[in-house]
Amino acid sequence: MISRNQALILDTSDPLKDFRQQFILPEKTIYLDGNSLGALPKRTPIYLQEIIQKQWGEDLIKSWNLHDWIHWPQTVGTKIARLIGAKPNEVLVADSTSINLFKLLSGALKLRPDRRTILSEKGNFPTDLYMAQGLLALLEKDYQLKIVNQDTLFKSIDSSVAVVMLTEVNYLTGHRHDLKTLAETAHAQGALILVDLAHSAGAMPVDLNQNSIDLAVGCGYKYLNGGPGAPAYLYISEALQQTFPAFLTGWLGHADPFAFTENYVPAFGMNRHLCGTPPILSLAALDCGLDLLLEANLQEIRQKSLALGDLFIDQVEAQSPELVLATPRDPERRGSQVSFHHPNGYAVMQALIAQGVIGDFRSPDILRFGFAPLYNRFVDIWDAADQLCNILKSGQWNEPKFQKRQTVT
């Protein structure tokens, strides 16, 4: 345990402390949910206003060429590439994470035609599993999605596996995989590896090339601060791109969309995975989030994220032994969040949100707290832990108004 004053001192020596003033944050709120919806950068509404009034309002359709709207999926993609250790031509911003999973899983199965298994793990994010299930429903019966426990993951990677599909940082527990060893194991068995970066990109250095990752997807609205429903991205290693087929063959993935011919011919490289018209306003918002993130040092982000997590764990465990840590203590194996089990987790989180500390609840019993090092301070973490422990001590969460479930938890 440290004192509140000691937390304030940690903030004064924080190399990232000036980034907080780049965000619009509501007063009297401690926001620990940047892993679900990143905060709003101050520059975003200003830039969007300009895009809307000048580019859309005045230049209208000319903007596709005049302001190069048509290439924004690639240009914004090159910025994401810098965050995830990819080459500029390996990342495209498009669609949602779910849809990009479909694109990559379908292509991966086609590249390994003699194999019938998509391997994933229990506890992976539901949409990743659901998209695989939907794809398999379209194929012949002998294809399967094999979902194994984490402790049998390595030995389940065998020569029947076409693609290993994993999320680097688990959304529920914050457990972080060792991607390098997983990729080596997959490749030794001739399988491809597909990684979901939703909870890692922007919160820590990611190096897809260095770790020989074949395929990846990720989310724009979490640590990238791209705004609600921001477009997602997909990555295909350069080595695979020319043979990697597209099955969601929309017109903008055609080699020559404005020839308006009847038959689909794939565009070069990543571009064939662009399906329909890009959402320009959403891309502009994502671009602002990325520019801000690229001004920061990812090693410093990671260091602070782990320090915030350590502080939260220490403060909470010292005061509320009834909360059971669900997140690995080993910093190497941890993402940028800390989760605790509590049998009345939903009501506890509602009571905490009523006090202005925003985390979230994940079924069945997880209280989840995400740390965004660009705008969360050490003192915020200290105060959040203090509030949480007070709510547990007072039993305030028992009030009926905190029991009612809303649609989004």
Residues within window 156-175 making contact with ligand PLP, judged by CB under 6 A = 167, 171
Q: Helix or strand or coil: residue 275? A: coil
**In 45-104, where do the E strands start and end?**
91-93
Q: Which of 125, 171, 346, 369 is catalytic?
A: 125
125 is catalytic: yes
Q: Does 357 sit near ligand PLP (CB under 6 A)? A: no
Catalytic site residue from 128, 196, 214, 287? 196
Instruction: Pick the stretch among 11-19, 69-77, 92-100, 327-335 that binds ligand PLP (CB under 6 A).
Output: 92-100
Identified binder of ligand PLP from the candidate list 55, 63, 97, 173, rule CB under 6 A: 97
Is residue 195 part of the contact set for ligand PLP (CB under 6 A)?
A: no
Stretch that binds ligand PLP, among 67-75, 86-94, 96-104, 318-326 (CB under 6 A): 96-104
Could you say which of 176, 199, 273, 334 contacts ligand PLP (CB under 6 A)?
199
Please give the Cα distance from 260 to 254 (Å, whole number). 9
Contacts 24+ apart (CB under 8 A), 398-405: 398/347, 399/351, 401/350, 402/346, 402/347, 402/348, 402/350, 402/351, 402/354, 403/346, 403/347, 403/350, 405/346
Determine the Cα–Cα distance for residues 216 and 183; give it in Å rounded to an integer.
12
- Does position 344 bind ligand PLP by CB under 6 A? no
Residues 120-149 that bind ligand PLP (CB under 6 A): 125, 127-128
Angle at 120 between CA 115 and CA 126, to 5 degrees: 130
By CB under 6 A, is residue 303 in contact with ligand PLP?
Answer: no
252-261 burial, b at 16+ Cβ within 10 Å, e below that, comes to: bbbeeeeeee
Q: Is 98 in the site for ligand PLP (CB under 6 A)?
A: yes
Task: Please identify, using beta-carbon distances, which residue of 107 and 231 lies nearer to ligand PLP.
Answer: 231
Helix (H) or strand (E) holding 116: none
For residue 169, give the 3-state DSSP assignment.
strand
Q: Is 143 a catalytic residue?
A: no
Give the one residue of 232, 236, 288, 298 binding ligand PLP; rule: CB under 6 A.
Answer: 232
How far from 201 is each of 157, 224, 264, 336, CA to CA, in Å?
25, 7, 33, 10
Please name the residues in contact with 49: beta carbons below 8 A apart, sequence gap of 6 or more. none
- Position 96 contacts ligand PLP (CB under 6 A): yes
Q: Contact between 196 and ligand PLP (CB under 6 A)? A: yes
Q: Is 82 a known active-site residue? A: no
Query: Which residue number, 98 or 150, has a Cβ lying nearer to ligand PLP?
Result: 98
Cα–Cα distance, 402 to 56 (Å, whole number): 44
Q: Does residue 198 belong to the site contacting ligand PLP (CB under 6 A)? A: yes
- In the complex, the residues that contact ligand PLP under the rule CB under 6 A are 96-98, 125, 127-128, 167, 171, 196, 198-199, 219, 232
Give the catalytic positions in this structure: 125, 196, 221-222, 368
